[in-house]
Amino acid sequence: MSSIFKKIIDREIPADIVYEDDLCLAFRDINPKAPVHVLVIPKKEIPSLADLNDDDETIVGHCVVALAKIAAAEGLHDGYNMIVNCGEAGGQEVPHLHFHLMGGRQPKS
């Protein structure tokens, strides 16, 4: 059974896509926790960080570089967070590796 993210990659369900290339796809979170909340996912189905192997190094690095480009395009020049949850106990809700790009909050005084 495909995860919701695989269905987004396959265009079976809609998403607000902000970036796509051969290796990854990025779209706005439907339940944002910050003014800018984008999910960057590899197109290869990797369940979590714990499932990475040496062959995935290029894909993961590519996703992180794409996330930085998206942050710049979103105007997050003052900073942002990149969050990766691993496994259910680590807060991962969808069993497909994904990187949260979160930013746009005003700094606390």
CATH numbers and ranges of domains, the chain: 4-103 (3.30.428.10)
Question: Of residues 37, 96, 98, 100, which has the active-site annotation?
Answer: 98
- Side chain identity, residue 30: I
Rounded distance between C-alpha atoms, residue 83 and residue 97, angstroms: 11
Is-contact 49 84, C-beta < 8 A? yes
Is 98 assigned a catalytic role?
Answer: yes
User: Per-residue pLDDT for 106 more than 90?
Assistant: no
User: Per-residue pLDDT for 1 more than 80?
Assistant: no
Average pLDDT over residues 11-21: 97
Please give the model's pTM, rounded to 2 decimal places: 0.93
